[in-house]
């Protein structure tokens, strides 16, 4: 075992590894490596990761989080897009049989196949990551929109993105992303991470976001495509009223305006409000009403 060695997530060992393999970090791949083991302890605790947990890791880098997961979890399957890391991960994590590294873009991966192949039906599945920040949102949306049996996500990202994902109605961070996250999961910021714990140091602080999958979406929606396109359109121009954004989306023909007035009245929403004041329940009620209105469904793309 590597217990006598320092953790990979320390400045000393990380620098040794970088030097030994002559690795230069690629900014384009969001490569900021974690060099503070306490952060890993807190991530493992936030995700309640133990010997009954099977973990999918995104972007192991040189193995900072992977090494810790290997010690704490039953099984770890990690996806890494950068082939240059193959010899490093192979060698530095050689002691851990329960770690599998797949060299593939996470956005191209067939996760359900991986789950079937590597995990047991009774495993509690957790996704853990210090995410590549340039694709945080697509990665998360791909996962949570799927029907994958993932219980919890514990993921490091830019603090500002975590704040948007957990925002409350009425705040300037609240938007269509908040609603999409809230629809599928319970979201909370587990803790804030200062930028000083990474090599190289990024420009902004980070946060670890914890998402817990809901058994059922938070609100009952008859047409999800319509619901999500409505929420996106509603926040298109944040300074304008909800009514203005609705008209830009559905059109300004008299017939359309009349239909919009009717649905707003039916669900009791005042069009002079701003979208950021609307709750997910109000968006759902409105989307369901629009879905029942032939004039509006005819115009909605």
Residues that bind ligand SAM (CB under 6 A): 29-34, 58-61, 64-65, 79-82, 105-107, 130, 132, 135
Minimum CB separation from ligand SAM for residue 203, in Å?
A: 14
The answer to whether 126 and 111 have CB atoms below 8 angstroms apart is no
Handedness of CA 186, 190, 192, 197 (dihedral sign): negative
The smaller minimum CB distance to ligand SAM, of residues 198 and 235, is found at 198
Tell the smallest beta-carbon distance from residue 52 to ligand SAM (Å): 23
Query: Following CA atoms 7, 190, 199, 131 in sequence, which dihedral angle do they give, to the nearest 10 degrees?
Result: 100
From CA 192, how far away is CA 23, in angstroms rounded? 28
Q: How far is the CB of 213 from ligand SAM (least distance, A)?
A: 21
Q: What would the two tokens of residue 177 be?
A: 């992303």
Q: Looking at beta carbons only, is 3 or 28 nearer to ligand SAM?
A: 28
Q: What is the DSSP letter of 2?
A: -
Helix 224-234 with 242-250: angle, nearest 10 deg? 120
Q: Please, which residue, 17 or 246, has the CB nearer to ligand SAM?
A: 17
CB of 294 to ligand SAM, least distance (A): 42
Residue 126: exposed, middle, or buried by beta-carbon count in 10 A (0-12, 13-18, 19+)? buried
Question: CB of 50: closest distance to ligand SAM in angstroms?
Answer: 20
Which residue number, 24 or 272, has a Cβ lying nearer to ligand SAM?
24
User: If you ran DSSP here, which 8-state letter would residue 24 be given?
Assistant: -
C-beta of 91 vs 261, nearer to ligand SAM: 91
Placement of tokens 């995410």 in the chain? 131
């Amino acid at each position: 075992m590597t217990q006598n060695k320092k953790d990979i997530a320390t400045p000393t060992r990380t620098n040794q590894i970088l030097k030994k393999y002559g690795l230069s970090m690629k900014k384009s791949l969001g490569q900021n490596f974690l060099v503070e083991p306490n952060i890993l302890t807190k991530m493992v605790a936030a995700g309640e990761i133990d010997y009954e947990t099977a973990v999918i890791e995104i972007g192991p880098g040189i193995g900072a989080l992977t090494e810790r997961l290997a010690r704490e979890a039953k099984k770890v399957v990690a996806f890494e897009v950068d082939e240059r890391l193959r010899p490093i991960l192979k060698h530095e994590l050689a002691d851990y049989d329960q770690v599998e590294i797949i060299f593939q873009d996470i956005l191209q991966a067939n996760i359900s196949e991986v789950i079937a192949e590597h995990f047991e039906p009774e495993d509690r599945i957790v996704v853990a990551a210090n995410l590549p920040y340039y694709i945080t949102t697509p990665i998360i949306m791909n996962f949570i929109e799927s029907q994958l049996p993932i219980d919890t996500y514990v993921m490091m990202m830019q603090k500002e993105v975590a704040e948007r994902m957990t925002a409350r109605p009425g705040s300037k961070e609240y938007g269509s992303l908040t609603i999409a996250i809230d629809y599928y999961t319970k979201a909370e910021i587990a803790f804030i991470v200062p930028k000083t714990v990474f090599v190289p140091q990024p420009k902004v602080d980070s946060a670890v976001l914890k998402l817990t999958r809901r058994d059922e979406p938070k609100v009952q929606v008859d047409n999800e495509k319509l619901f999500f396109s409505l929420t996106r359109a509603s926040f298109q121009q944040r300074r304008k009223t909800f009514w203005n954004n609705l008209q830009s989306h559905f059109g300004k023909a008299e017939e359309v305006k009349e239909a919009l007035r009717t649905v707003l009245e039916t669900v009791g929403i005042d069009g002079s409000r701003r979208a950021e004041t609307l709750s997910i329940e109000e968006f759902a009620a409105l989307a369901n009403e629009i879905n029942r209105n032939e004039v509006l469904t005819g115009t909605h793309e």
